[in-house]
Structure 1
């Protein structure tokens, strides 16, 4: 029996056994505590909401060791969160649908909202969440109520607020890889009408990947370390029972090193790119295709310095007993400087400097107003949303001292030198591309969401949102060491040179390869000739939802829903060029138009929310069918990122979640299963923005989407009991299963992740009054090797010949373990 079948069978047997046990012992009367969610911008029981929601309490997050949205995946079926070239590039996907990172111009398909404030990119929301009340993962389009760009779902995070009683807590953590962490918080009243909460945390860890530098300028001998601190302060003002204001200020600073890819697959041809890299600088990369020895190669630094800060205010005013006005205002700024060894070898090929000149900054101002109330059988809500986002980025990709020798001397067999393109004329060390982009985006929306109860059992919810999205992008390109303009005039001479082939076709192919190799995006100063480039686009779209639900009994509610989702179009913030074939050969021209169209989705769901055996077991299930049009795909082709819109992607499947309070006192369980077929519908080259990209995407038509396992399942259990008159024992185990899926946007076979089970665990003891506790914990307890993202080795791939190509990967974390001491005062 294979792993997938074993896990599925075990899960089914476990649930059936637990259900049977409950049926026999239901008289003991244990119940699942009511789960309150805000999926419709008002507090409701999870069992009354006609939306697929996985709700995770703050206590379970703590027990499972979840401190950021990437670790949340272990508790959420159907959710995948990965990071790539640095940990500011984080991507969340729901039901196999999301947006590949590494391109700040591309917005997220899964929105992240923290305390009511929309975060512009998943990476901007990556950080220590601190003290959290709960996290709600809403699956499917949520474009009516949740900000913008939520065509696949929403991760809604609610942090713990100020309390009216005085509380103080601290935590100290020590683990392998030199891990240390310290947090502290205090919460309580300041005056009769004012309460506050202050949280501070700092975490540090050595890297878990060894790095060979071969004496390069990089000083660090490991990678994937951790070093940051976070502050969050809150004030809650309640002058009357009708009026409250919650003000939150937060600040995070990170100074870390991440991420060096490892070699997933290295072609075995004697003239393969990996072999040529090692011929240029011996020992520069691993030719054995054994990525999980966690041996990386880099001669340049992978510094990442991030500063994230913000201020928000949520005001709630109960105008009458039945009408509430809510205002959520926020201003935020996120800034990162990133260095990168961009070839992921110890040879000095290409790099992004770590001197602060390679950076991204987001400035955001947002305002939401909602007026909600009840009138008889009608529960109504109207509102408006405004957000202004300023995105500034400088992207530098420079050639190292080995690039000419490797690429010109070996990949192109030294032919360019024969036509005068010598090292003193092109691709000099320190030259390269230096591009600056400044984008201003303004979004405003009007929305309404209304539920009408025809009877006590039958309810209809209708929502509508009008969105206006405006973007203006100003770009300026700079290229030094350019080789393209010098190479193109030699095409005819090369194509007629008998030394390049015995036939005209062979010579033509060789000339195309040589000129093409000298006209890669960062080597083409046609971009400089564009001067200051301004692009703008304006979109107006309607999105909305209709949900009909019927409560058959206090324990059973079913619903059918339709949602129309919208994700704005935008601009690719990377170089795009087109190839024009002329009588004298190919002409590689800079493309000033980097825009792409909005993404739309139509989603249908048929679901049920059920309670069993005296509310000791909640089982919620939904079948879904989602059709995405102009799906925004971001893919790395080995030299640049390109954004393409795929004509149609269909995602269909079933979500099941359960929450269970067995008849064993102190034991609580929750989990779920998602089965999803997320498939790219067949398309032709003519349907792409740029038909010449079809070869890079040729595996996609008719295939399962990348990062889209057909099966995923999660299971978490917490057990606590007295072990003496004064001591309590507490334990937790959380596991996540995913079936086989591909981690590369081009679906290359080397980038496949096999079926995987990740397990986290924790055990602890402490007094019954919770004054202190000591916990032993482990993440990835079975030390599974797994792949986060597979990608083409930069300047090391021939898309038509795997035997000479190098494919790399960013790995998941190995087993980590340690001890945590908690104190409550």
Structure 2
């Protein structure tokens, strides 16, 4: 496997090197069509249509055809085409995080907003996971790298994924797509578009996709019934109406609905705890309760509890564009949107068949977002000036439920570990201290209101020199109501705190923590309710100077200030020493932390870039050097016992981006690719240092590979007069990176290369086409995230990690056939 990966990496680098050769004199043939020129790549990165080469921002633009050829259906698929973009999922598919240049939100906590914004048809999605799903029929996707704090809603301190779907057409058209593949994959999608009159058109898209799971499950004594995990089963629909009552007025109404009913995500063992008693006790309680020795890519996981997930996503929007002659042809744009997203999840929280901790998929574990947003923009253009002013408002309600249930084996596991650590137990512990079925039941209700005023203006001093100035003022308020309940009453912890032999014995400290230091067991959280509020006002914006040396070469220098809102940790926090008995006269005694807030994240970004086109506009070579300095970078880490939110005082991401598009002299062949080098390091740890491993290899931020590169090659060959062959191969390389927020060296993902392949044969007019495809052709083994197994040791602080490591795996090789029909 490693040999194949090395060869593929060399192929990617070699191909990218070859792609730059024509920049020094190779000319396109006279037969090259106009559609195969760089000028046809249009983006809306500055909220107006522009050629990619006129925009002083690093943008990776992916066309409809290339998205189809590489099998992109959701944001995670997009990584094969975008260097510097990394998308991962953890405990369920709704917990999906996008990172650009090594920067992104860390952890499974809905209180943390996204560093990378996801915008679909102008509508901002409040978290990356909320934007994860079948994107339907696409016109293009633009990935804007670096902070975009002026024009794209809010919370874009690292970049924006701007998704543009296909609009209704006034010419009739219909499409059908049918797919069958391994793992029992069966997919179908259909769309129809056309006119209702000469002023009204519509488009309807529906899809259903099902697949068996990538993991086989050992269920042990149950009660889980599903024997597979990480499967797929969802249905989606999107309907649109386009009204054009006059040439000056354009109204687009959109409504969509998606329902997912799946199982995700179990996680195989990767490294077992070095503490012998942990593994021995688990296998004593339930034989064959975990894989020993670990073999994660045998793709067998252990779970006695359900991992069922139900996701419902729905919304509606109205976009109005009105050309106002009275204002010299300025355009008024209004985007009104309502979104509702809800997930219900189950979880086997210990990832073994021993019944220690779990969450039921009964509605008491999950999140719901409801968002109303409104944006107005007024934009105009003259010979010397392109101007835009706007206002944005969003009202977001978040309801989060977290119920963690004590399993029937919890007491025996805890008691067994404690007896193993202590030579003598002063008194036998009673099972009723930790009753099976006892649970926490926490509810968080948060309202967030955000409004902003913004402007973005480009001044053309000459045909060659242009200055862009943008500024945004954001006012954001958050109100949170937290309600904690212990259905078990915290009896076990209260009892242990009164036994000095437990509390004062260093040998039992970590094990004692399982029954007391973790917040789910602490009686101080019995029936506690309180409220918090925070208000922020922040300026962000940009200044860019661009100079066009020739028609084919433009360079720019930019500064951008980015901002991501602060918030509240939606998890229990405690102050004081958990070993002590609660005593109001002792300031060191444990107490509920009623201030779970964390500060906003800001960034100062500097970029020097050049955009060039060669060979009669058939070759694009763009490059940029960037430096991004983050203050109060928001970090959420899981210690193996609990989640902790903290801030890193300074994180710096610096490096180089290169993007290439080449329509070769061989008319049938084209390439798109790029390379990102990002040195993303923690410059200051501050108080967060206690959560990092002292033996870490370096200070490179987690999920931040230094090198990433992508290359997609498309070959299209007519056969006779009526037939067509089209083939595409896409490859993505990433150097090694750490997947653990605490930088535990056991959580390293090695360098890897992923390759996708698609071969199609059909009618030249594309009335029909049959495609053979494979994703991850070389069956590369890789991890999405490696993490500390719950209650099986810890890797927080200290000098030696004692935790078991589990992993959420990347997808294996898949293959299948797709048939497409156009009418």
With 88-97 and 484-493 compared, the bigger mean Cα shift is at: 484-493
Q: Distance in 2 between matches of 1:220 and 1:27?
A: 59
**Structure 1 281/579 Cα, relative in aligned 2: closer, same or farther at 3 Å?**
farther
Are 1:484 and 1:519, in contact at CA under 8 Å, matched by a contact in 2? no
Q: Distance in 2 between matches of 1:581 and 1:87?
A: 34
Find the counterpart in structure 1 of residue 585 from structure 2. Answer: none
**TM-score (norm. length: structure 1):** 0.94
Find the counterpart in structure 2 of residue 139 from structure 1. Answer: 145
Deviation at 1:584, TM superposition (A): 7.5
Q: Distance in 1 between matches of 2:98 and 2:177?
A: 29
Q: Does 1:559 align with 2:556?
A: yes
2:79 to 73, 76, 91: 73
Q: Does 1:234 align with 2:231?
A: no
Find the counterpart in structure 2 of residue 327 from structure 1. Answer: 334
**What is the total number of aligned residue pairs between the two structures?**
807
With 510-519 and 477-486 compared, the bigger mean Cα shift is at: 510-519
1:819 to 813, 817, 820: 817
Counterpart of 1:98 in 2: which secondary structure?
Answer: coil
**Structure 1 269/824 Cα, relative in aligned 2: closer, same or farther at 3 Å?**
same
Find the counterpart in structure 1 of residue 756 from structure 2. Answer: 760
Are 1:213 and 1:221, in contact at CA under 8 Å, matched by a contact in 2? yes
1:719 to 715, 725, 733: 715
Counterpart of 1:409 in 2: which secondary structure?
Answer: helix
Q: Does 1:592 align with 2:612?
A: no
Q: Does 1:543 align with 2:543?
A: no
Q: Distance in 1 between matches of 2:400 and 2:104?
A: 23
Deviation at 1:218, TM superposition (A): 0.5
After TM superposition, list the pairs within 5 Å mapping 1:415-426 onto structure 2: 418=425, 422-426=429-433
1:279 to 284, 290, 293: 284
**Structure 1 485/345 Cα, relative in aligned 2: closer, same or farther at 3 Å?**
closer
**Structure 1 145/583 Cα, relative in aligned 2: closer, same or farther at 3 Å?**
closer
Q: Distance in 1 between matches of 2:242 and 2:26?
A: 47
Counterpart of 1:247 in 2: which secondary structure?
Answer: strand
Find the counterpart in structure 2 of residue 173 from structure 1. Answer: 179
Are 1:606 and 1:624, in contact at CA under 8 Å, matched by a contact in 2? yes
Deviation at 1:381, TM superposition (A): 0.5
After TM superposition, list the pairs within 5 Å mapping 1:734-749 onto structure 2: 734-749=730-745
With 596-605 and 354-363 compared, the bigger mean Cα shift is at: 354-363
Deviations 1:24-50 (A, max 9, x none): 453445342411000000000000000
After TM superposition, list the pairs within 5 Å mapping 1:646-661 onto structure 2: 646-661=648-663
Deviation at 1:591, TM superposition (A): 1.2
Q: Distance in 1 between matches of 2:390 and 2:700?
A: 38
**Structure 1 699/318 Cα, relative in aligned 2: closer, same or farther at 3 Å?**
farther
Instruction: Structure 2: state its 5+ residue gaps.
Output: 583-587
Q: Does 1:369 align with 2:352?
A: no
With 768-777 and 149-158 compared, the bigger mean Cα shift is at: 768-777
Find the counterpart in structure 2 of residue 161 from structure 1. Answer: 167
Deviation at 1:460, TM superposition (A): 0.3
After TM superposition, list the pairs within 5 Å mapping 1:653-672 onto structure 2: 653-672=655-674
Find the counterpart in structure 2 of residue 486 from structure 1. Answer: 494
Deviation at 1:2, TM superposition (A): 8.8
**Structure 1 329/421 Cα, relative in aligned 2: closer, same or farther at 3 Å?**
farther
Find the counterpart in structure 1 of residue 195 from structure 2. Answer: 189
Q: Does 1:794 align with 2:790?
A: yes
Counterpart of 1:407 in 2: which secondary structure?
Answer: helix
Find the counterpart in structure 2 of residue 433 from structure 1. Answer: 440
Deviation at 1:642, TM superposition (A): 1.6
Find the counterpart in structure 2 of residue 504 from structure 1. Answer: none
Deviation at 1:720, TM superposition (A): 0.8
Find the counterpart in structure 2 of residue 93 from structure 1. Answer: 99
**TM-score (norm. length: structure 2):** 0.95
Q: Distance in 2 between matches of 1:421 and 1:37?
A: 70
**Structure 1 54/333 Cα, relative in aligned 2: closer, same or farther at 3 Å?**
same
Are 1:38 and 1:44, in contact at CA under 8 Å, matched by a contact in 2? yes
RMSD, matched Cα: 2.2
Deviations 1:493-512 (A, max 9, x none): 5467xxxxxxxxxx455367
**Structure 1 644/698 Cα, relative in aligned 2: closer, same or farther at 3 Å?**
farther
After TM superposition, list the pairs within 5 Å mapping 1:184-223 onto structure 2: 184-223=190-229
Deviation at 1:9, TM superposition (A): 5.5
Find the counterpart in structure 2 of residue 604 from structure 1. Answer: 606
Q: Distance in 2 between matches of 1:527 and 1:236?
A: 53
Deviations 1:118-137 (A, max 9, x none): 00000001100010000000
Are 1:488 and 1:587, in contact at CA under 8 Å, matched by a contact in 2? no
Q: Distance in 1 between matches of 2:772 and 2:568?
A: 48
Q: Distance in 2 between matches of 1:39 and 1:355?
A: 42
Deviation at 1:725, TM superposition (A): 2.6
Deviation at 1:724, TM superposition (A): 2.5
Q: Does 1:532 align with 2:540?
A: no
Are 1:134 and 1:158, in contact at CA under 8 Å, matched by a contact in 2? yes
Q: Distance in 2 between matches of 1:15 and 1:354?
A: 48
Deviation at 1:709, TM superposition (A): 0.4
Q: Distance in 2 between matches of 1:494 and 1:189?
A: 76
1:410 to 399, 404, 417: 417
Q: Distance in 1 between matches of 2:132 and 2:592?
A: 34
Deviation at 1:598, TM superposition (A): 0.2
Deviation at 1:289, TM superposition (A): 2.4
Deviations 1:183-207 (A, max 9, x none): 0000011111000000000000000
Q: Distance in 2 between matches of 1:730 and 1:423?
A: 69
Q: Distance in 2 between matches of 1:495 and 1:250?
A: 56
Find the counterpart in structure 2 of residue 337 from structure 1. Answer: 344
Counterpart of 2:287 in 1: which secondary structure?
Answer: coil
Q: Distance in 2 between matches of 1:159 and 1:306?
A: 22
Counterpart of 1:510 in 2: which secondary structure?
Answer: helix
Find the counterpart in structure 1 of residue 767 from structure 2. Answer: 771
Deviation at 1:176, TM superposition (A): 0.2
Deviation at 1:518, TM superposition (A): 2.3
With 275-284 and 644-653 compared, the bigger mean Cα shift is at: 275-284
Q: Distance in 1 between matches of 2:329 and 2:219?
A: 66
Q: Distance in 2 between matches of 1:515 and 1:256?
A: 34
2:647 to 645, 661, 674: 645
Are 1:617 and 1:660, in contact at CA under 8 Å, matched by a contact in 2? yes
Are 1:731 and 1:763, in contact at CA under 8 Å, matched by a contact in 2? yes
Q: Distance in 2 between matches of 1:185 and 1:564?
A: 41
Deviation at 1:665, TM superposition (A): 1.6
Q: Distance in 1 between matches of 2:779 and 2:578?
A: 52
Counterpart of 2:156 in 1: which secondary structure?
Answer: coil
Find the counterpart in structure 2 of residue 503 from structure 1. Answer: none
Are 1:324 and 1:372, in contact at CA under 8 Å, matched by a contact in 2? yes
Deviation at 1:268, TM superposition (A): 4.5
**Structure 1 12/81 Cα, relative in aligned 2: closer, same or farther at 3 Å?**
closer
Deviation at 1:559, TM superposition (A): 0.2
Are 1:257 and 1:303, in contact at CA under 8 Å, matched by a contact in 2? yes
Deviation at 1:7, TM superposition (A): 6.0
Q: Distance in 2 between matches of 1:609 and 1:21?
A: 16
1:380 to 384, 387, 397: 387
With 752-761 and 96-105 compared, the bigger mean Cα shift is at: 96-105
Are 1:519 and 1:588, in contact at CA under 8 Å, matched by a contact in 2? no
